[in-house]
Amino acid sequence: MTARGRNERLLVRDIAHARAGDKGNTSNVNIWVYDPEDFELLKRSVTPERIKKEFPRLMRGTVTRYVIEHLHGLNLVMGEALEGGVNASLNLDSHGKSFSYLILGLTLDTGESAES
């Protein structure tokens, strides 16, 4: 893990890398840990339930998570998440290409409280 300041929470970006793609109004983000030892932490931190809870206005459909155990990666598939999709969205990033960093910007569930 990358060292961060004492009061800073660790982010998914500190242990993993990701890429986003789109098909119609569905976005997918694949996420891979650098160190296999961090995979359990990633799985605990990036769950469909949490994605729905963090971004309720954005995630209007079902969020499905595929686990690629042997390569230490996750694939999040988020239905109705692209504000209509590339042809209809009014978002500057109508493909949702930046969603990889939406996920990488989540704090990790390290089991410590937010104030620590």
Partner 1 sequence: MAKANGTFRIGTGAGFSADRLDPAVDLARRGELDVMVLECLGERTVAFAHRDRMADPRRGYNALLDRRMRALLPVCRAAGTVIITNMGAANPRAAAERTHDIARALGISGLRIACIEGDDVSGLLRPDQPFMDEPGTLADIGRPIVGMNAYLGADAIIPALEASADVVIGGRLADPSMYLAPLMHYHGWQNCDLAKLGAGTLVGHLMECGMQITGGYFADPGIKEVPDLADCGYPIAEVVRDGSAVITKLPETGGRVNEATVKEQLLYEVHDPASYLTPDVTADFSRVTLKDLGNNRVQVGSAAGRARPEKLKVTVGFDAGVLAEAGVSYAGPAAGARGRLAVEIVETRLKETHGIKSPFRVDLIGAGSLFATAGKARADSEEDVRLHVALRTTEREEAELMLWEVESLLCCGPAGGGGYRGVITPAVETKSVLIERDLVKPTFEMFVT
When binding is defined by CB under 8 A, the residue of 10, 12, 28, 39 that contacts partner 1 is: 28
Edge to edge, the sheet with strand 63-68 lists: 16-23, 26-33, 73-78, 63-68
56 is a contact residue toward partner 1 (CB under 8 A): yes
- Quick one: 54 or 109, whose CB is closer to partner 1? 54
Site for partner 1, residues 63 to 102, rule: CB under 8 A: 64, 66, 68, 70-71, 73, 75, 77, 83, 86-88, 90-93, 98, 102
Whether the CB-CB separation of 64 and 97 falls below 8 Å is answered with no
6 is a contact residue toward partner 1 (CB under 8 A): no
How many C-beta neighbours within 10 Å does residue 72 have?
A: 20
Alpha-carbon gap, residue 107 to 42, rounded angstroms: 10
- Quick one: 111 or 114, whose CB is closer to partner 1? 114
Q: How far apart are the first and last CA of the chain?
A: 18
- Quick one: 93 or 109, whose CB is closer to partner 1? 93
Number of residues that bind partner 1 (CB under 8 A): 39
